[in-house]
């Protein structure tokens, strides 16, 4: 048998099979095509942790494919306005975006459910529901009509309740309060007499300074400190009950996603999940130093009173009832979230709550 004949026969026999096991990984990598996508972010580069989530995704994909799968990241406004990111994906103007579903609640409130709505789940709860409770599939079932496939792409953890020029202690104090708060939460607080205001991030500080508005929500300590709100509205309230576990999403054009090889689709899902976890970890690390810094600058921390929280909870449930009665897609996803919310908070109040409470007591006593 000559050498060429031996190699040909071995390729279909046991020797070839053994060799394939050794060479499978690089062989597959070499057959992957070069893909270059554009991603438009809803966030400015100054919000480095949120905006950076898309850069993390891009980095992971490039490293895993030796540069064959590239995603170019563009900040809000560079390609399209930040609040039109998902529209650009639907229209295939870009292949991807990094955004928050509640920005599009005006089109359909169902967009907001997998992101954050009042008195929903915590960050851990949202992740549990999304990855193991069918949340990702339910959301994509809804998004299909918009030519979108989405995966979680970050979380800030529960946000703060915002900056106020004066203290608010009762529901009566909310009457006529002009607050920069949008979307779903704005509809809820409007029931309690608040006058919601839609103001771009860069215009919040002068509006507070001049008294054009009385209060504004933003994100949390790390991001809020950059905008200097403490100088013009010193009362920093918590919690941001409308964003208990706000999930940012990577949204992909459905046709573009389905056009990827199965290996690239799998890698994209995996890299998205890694970037999702990374963002929350970064906020958990950066917020402690930021809140101490803000207090040092004069921020006065205030919890929303039980009276205010209960009134907001009641108003939110009224809004949900109205939407469930008229929007089948909303009802289907919200019922799934509510069912898990009951189970989640049953478990959360046992070991986790008691451990955290004990450790917080030790910390407040200066024993940590």
180 a known binding residue? Answer: yes
Nearest-angstrom CA–CA distance, 213 and 208: 5
Q: What would the DSSP string read from start to end of 244-301?
A: SSPEEEEEEEHHHHHTS-HHHHHHHHHHHHHHHHHHHHHHHHHHHHHHHHHHHTT-EE
Which tens digits make up the pLDDT trace of 283-305? Answer: 999 999 999 999 999 999 999 99
The pair phi, psi for residue 234, each rounded to 5°, is -75, -15
159 a known binding residue? Answer: yes
190 a known binding residue? Answer: no
User: How far apart, in Å, are the Cα atoms of 19 and each of 2, 152, 200, 246, 263?
Assistant: 20, 38, 59, 48, 21
What's the pTM value of the predicted model, to 2 decimals? 0.90
**Which domains does the chain show, CATH number per domain?**
35-154+245-285 (3.40.190.170)
Nearest-angstrom CA–CA distance, 36 and 125: 34
Which position has the token pair 């009457």? 175
- Spell out the alpha helix ranges (H) of the chain: 3-10, 14-31, 48-64, 85-90, 110-113, 123-132, 135-143, 183-190, 204-210, 221-227, 254-258, 262-296, 306-326, 328-348, 351-364
Which tens digits make up the pLDDT trace of 327-363? Answer: 999 999 999 999 999 999 999 999 999 999 999 999 9
Query: Is residue 250 within 8 Å of 153, Cβ to Cβ?
Result: yes
Q: 116 in helix, strand or coil?
A: coil
pLDDT digits (tens), the chain, 368 positions: 443 343 333 343 443 333 334 444 444 455 789 999 999 999 999 999 999 999 999 999 999 999 999 999 999 999 999 999 999 999 999 999 999 999 999 999 999 999 999 999 999 999 999 999 999 999 999 999 999 999 999 999 999 999 999 999 999 999 999 999 988 899 999 999 999 998 878 899 999 999 999 999 999 999 999 999 999 999 999 999 999 999 999 999 999 999 999 999 999 999 999 999 999 999 999 999 999 999 999 999 999 999 999 999 999 999 999 999 999 999 999 999 999 999 999 999 999 999 999 999 999 999 99
197 a known binding residue? Answer: no
Two structure tokens written together for 211: 């008294």
243 a known binding residue? Answer: yes
């Amino acid at each position: 048998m000559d050498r060429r004949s031996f190699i040909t026969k071995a390729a279909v026999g046991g020797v070839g099979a053994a060799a394939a096991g050794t060479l499978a990984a690089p062989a597959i990598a070499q057959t992957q095509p070069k893909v270059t996508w554009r991603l438009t972010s809803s966030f400015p580069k100054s919000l480095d942790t949120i905006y950076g989530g898309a850069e993390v995704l891009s980095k992971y994909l490039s490293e895993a494919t030796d540069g064959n799968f590239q995603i170019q990241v563009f900040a809000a406004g560079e390609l399209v306005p930040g609040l039109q990111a998902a529209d650009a994906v639907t229209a295939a103007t870009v292949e991807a975006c990094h955004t928050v579903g509640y920005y599009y609640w005006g089109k359909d409130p169902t967009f907001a459910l997998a992101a954050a709505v009042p008195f929903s789940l915590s960050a851990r709860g949202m992740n549990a529901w999304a990855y193991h409770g069918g949340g990702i599939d339910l959301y994509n079932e809804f998004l299909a009509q918009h030519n979108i496939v989405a995966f979680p792409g970050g979380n800030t953890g529960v946000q703060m309740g915002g900056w106020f020029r004066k203290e608010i202690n009762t529901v009566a104090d909310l009457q006529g309060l002009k607050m920069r708060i949008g979307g779903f939460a704005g509809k809820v607080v409007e029931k309690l007499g608040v006058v919601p205001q839609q103001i771009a991030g860069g215009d919040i500080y002068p509006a507070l300074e001049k008294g054009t508005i009385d209060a504004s929500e933003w994100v949390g300590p790390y991001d809020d400190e950059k905008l200097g709100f403490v100088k013009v509205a010193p009362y920093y309230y918590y919690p941001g009950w409308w964003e208990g576990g706000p999930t940012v999403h990577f949204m992909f054009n459905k046709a573009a996603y389905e056009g990827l090889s199965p290996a690239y689709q799998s890698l994209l899902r995996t890299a998205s999940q890694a970037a999702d976890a990374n963002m929350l970890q970064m906020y958990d690390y950066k917020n402690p130093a930021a809140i101490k810094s803000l207090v040092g600058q004069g921020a006065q921390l205030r919890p929303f009173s039980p009276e205010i929280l209960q009134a907001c909870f009641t108003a939110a449930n009224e809004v949900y009832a109205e939407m469930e009665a008229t929007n089948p897609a909303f009802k289907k996803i919200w019922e799934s979230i509510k069912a898990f919310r009951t189970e989640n908070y049953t478990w959360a109040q046992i070991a986790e709550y008691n451990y955290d409470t004990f450790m917080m007591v030790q910390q407040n006593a200066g024993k940590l």
